[in-house]
Amino acid sequence: AQPSAPSPIPAPLRPLPWGQLNFLHTTDIHGWWGGHLQEPSYSADWGDYISFAKHLRDRADAEGRDLLLIDTGDRIEGNAIYDSSKPRGKFTYEIAKEQHIDLICSGNHELYKQESADGEFYHTVPDFSPNYIASNLDIYNPKTARLEALAPRFKKFTTENQGIRILAFGFLFDFTGNANNTVIHKVKDTVQEGWFQHAIQDKELDLIVVIGHVDVRSDEYATLYATIRAAQPDIPIQFFGGHRHIRDYRIFDDKSVAIASGRYMETIGFMSINGLNTRSSSHHPRKSQEPKPTFSRLYIDNNLYSLHHHSAKNLTTFPTPNGLNVTTQINSARHSLHLNRLYGCAPRDLWVNRAPYPHPSSIFSWLSDSMLPDTVKTSSRVQESGKSAIAIINTGGIRFDIFKGAFTKDTAFLVSPFTSRLRYVKDVPSQVAVRVLPLLNHGEPMMKEQGIDLAPPEVVARKLRRQFFPELLRPAFSKLESNAQAQLALSATEHHNLIPGYTTHDDAGTDGDDTIHSPIDFFEVPNCIQAVVSQGDSKSDLAEDASLPTHIDIVYNEFIEKWVLMALRYLGESYKLEDTEEYFPGKSFTQLMVEWVEKYWGVDGEECE
Ligand SMILES: O=c1ccn([C@@H]2O[C@H](COP(=O)(O)O)[C@@H](O)[C@H]2O)c(=O)[nH]1
């Protein structure tokens, strides 16, 4: 773990359900290679994961089992290690490649920008070759400008110990927000392509594995399941998904399941299968599959207490040389980026989903009531031209909570990692302007009627239920380690002494989390929020008849520009890109937030309490 990582807290643990074939699964890492430095439950880093995988691989080899590692994309954007480096990603690829990953694919975040898609082409694909799979993703080769598959469409291989013959695919959901150097083929079209139809007819297979940056409950996975199952009525199919940032497990049928393993290096998904066809030995016929394979899943909290326990190692025997090197590598990257630089002290916790909106503990209330209006008031449009403004941002651009105490460069990028700036349309009729936010939040059916596709699928998906985590600091784990097993006797429904955290309920029940936690509240938040600055006053909620000037500026995060202009068009005001301008020229939203923190929470070289 990183030197400043908090010690994990002992807690009752469920055992790893080892099988013939076993998997470790990460997804939506979003640059959290260093782990969580303010949350003991997720405080292990990528170096620890490397050590952990090595121990599990050794055990699998010793017992004649197989272990495969999977990553299903969105490795970038969401943490200062990626987002604050110049160029972005300077450290990421070198850190990521130290883990041996057997099957890997792209997420949507790798593709928002041309440079990050090229980063996959130049780094991740060759670093993990031949394990990177791109079943429905093409790139304009940056060297030749020709459109080609980013990586092989599928991979067929046989596991080392059990001789299980696997056909693997790697998909991305039907994402449309990519830069124009990549092409994503819709899943429903890809499954009709000759190469896919041919691949799934293969009878020399024991298992089909579909990895994807795809919600396990999405239409895309339903299509893939139905198509493969129609071609192969009996073959076991194992799906690995992601994108929703949740722990989830879906049972398609008695031979096909899907797992999703959370987000931000909080979770290492463990999946196992028994009862698959195997090669008994090279001289004997294949041992055939039991009538039904059995599948098991466990979501591991990524901290050293869990990792030591599941690998049967301790503080001394756990770290491997490569794991330790990577931990040091991450620490040096953090140092060289000055991530501990203090901007101010947050006076209280501010939550993304652990408080409702509006609420004094909601990060979005802080943004709409304080940070946004205070910031907008300093613009030249307000200061020099006396113009009122409605400022709208997408909640999806705010990625993590603020904890009471030090607000550092690290914090700034965890909360707001993206490069977007604020833009604006000037002098919009106020009675139109006040109707934009309701349309962005609730207008989807109306807009669809008009043939206008308002919300990007991922914005809609984000609104769905998620489980969360963080927890209270407790005494160092060495003192409590011996008590932990005794706590196993506690029933999962008794919350006494349990640490708040993931309490997952999926298709297999409520026993999926390795650590037995007490639950944490989760609140839905709207797609977008707003602040209104009018004649010196600010408010976040506006009745249509509120006293506003006849015309007002609409300020918005540039990520939602397309939808703001669509909403205005729907409301009868046709503005084009040429009608928009930067509101704070040259400054990203993240910079504006940091300036606010320095001004209002700054401590002039002092430390936080
Ligand atoms: O430049 C960007 C890119 C993305 N966003 C927000 O993120 C979500 C998608 O994130 P997932 O992790 O894939 O769910 C997107 O809908 C935007 O809300 C952004 O604000 N700026």
Same domain, 257 and 369: no
Same domain, 78 and 156: yes
Same domain, 44 and 102: yes
Q: Residue 481 pLDDT more than 70? A: no
Same domain, 129 and 103: yes
Same domain, 345 and 329: no
Per-residue exposure over 315-353, b if at least 16 CB sit within 10 Å of its own CB, e if not: eeebbbeebeebbebbbebbeebebeebbbbbeeebbbb
Does residue 245 form part of some domain? yes
**What does residue 557 show for φ and ψ, rounded to 5 degrees?**
-70, 130
Over residues 386-429, the pLDDT tens digits come to 999 999 999 999 999 999 999 999 999 999 999 999 999 999 99
Q: Residue 217 pLDDT more than 70? A: yes
**Contacts (Cβ under 8 Å, ≥6 apart) of 102:** 68, 69, 70, 131
Same domain, 328 and 398: no
- Reference 411, options 362, 354, 345; nearest CA is 345
Q: Which atom of ligand 1 is nearest to the CA of 399?
A: 7
Does residue 16 form part of some domain? no
What are the tokens at 176? 């449309």
Over residues 440-472, the pLDDT tens digits come to 998 776 666 556 555 554 444 443 333 222 222
Distance 568 CA to ligand 1 centre (A): 22
Distance 78 CA to ligand 1 centre (A): 10
Same domain, 299 and 382: no
Same domain, 407 and 328: no
Q: Which of 297, 315, 335 is the last residue of a domain?
A: 335
Whole-angstrom Cα distance, residue 448 to residue 454?
7
Does residue 504 form part of some domain? no
**Contacts (Cβ under 8 Å, ≥6 apart) of 405:** 345, 346, 608, 609
Residue nearest to atom 7 of ligand 1 (CA): 396
Q: Residue 194 pLDDT more than 90? A: yes
Query: Tell me, what CATH number does 390's domain have?
Result: 3.90.780.10
What pTM did the predictor assign? 0.93
Over residues 38-75, the pLDDT tens digits come to 999 999 999 999 999 999 999 999 999 999 999 999 99
Over residues 509-550, the pLDDT tens digits come to 999 999 999 999 999 999 999 999 987 566 655 554 457 899
Q: Which residue has the higher pLDDT, 473 or 315?
A: 315
Same domain, 430 and 329: no
Query: Tell me, what CATH number does 69's domain have?
Result: 3.60.21.10
Distance 177 CA to ligand 1 centre (A): 9
Q: Which of 453, 459, 559, 562 to mutate to test the pocket of ligand 1 (most atoms within 8 A of CB)?
A: 559
Give me the number of domains the chain comprises: 2
CA 237 to centroid of chain Cα atoms: 24
Q: Which of 75, 88, 394 to mutate to test the pocket of ligand 1 (most atoms within 8 A of CB)?
A: 394
pLDDT of residue 469: 26
The share of the chain scoring above pLDDT 70, in percent, equals: 89
pLDDT band at 487 (very low <50, low <70, confident <90, very high): very low
In 10 A of CB 225, how many CB atoms? 19
Same domain, 258 and 347: no
CA angle 2, 16, 304 (to 5 degrees): 15
Element (H, E) at 379: none
Predicted complex ipTM = 0.99
Does residue 583 form part of some domain? yes
Tell me the mean pLDDT in the region 174-181. 97
Distance 213 CA to ligand 1 centre (A): 14
Does residue 51 form part of some domain? yes
Tell me the mean pLDDT in the region 210-239. 98
Same domain, 384 and 271: no
Q: Residue 475 pLDDT more than 50? A: no
Tell me the mean pLDDT in the region 65-88. 98
Whole-angstrom Cα distance, residue 25 to residue 160?
19
Q: Residue 105 pLDDT more than 60? A: yes
Tell me the mean pLDDT in the region 556-569. 96
Same domain, 269 and 362: no
pLDDT band at 485 (very low <50, low <70, confident <90, very high): very low
pLDDT band at 7 (very low <50, low <70, confident <90, very high): very high
Q: Which atom of ligand 1 is nearest to the CA of 108?
A: 13
Lining ligand 1 with CB less than 6 A are: 74, 108-109, 112, 243, 394, 396-397, 418, 420, 456, 458-459, 462, 559
Does residue 301 form part of some domain? yes
Domain of residue 25 covers 21-279+289-335
Does residue 494 form part of some domain? no
Distance 159 CA to ligand 1 centre (A): 36
Does residue 118 form part of some domain? yes
pLDDT of residue 497: 85
Tell me the mean pLDDT in the region 268-283. 86
Distance 397 CA to ligand 1 centre (A): 6
Mean pLDDT of the chain: 91
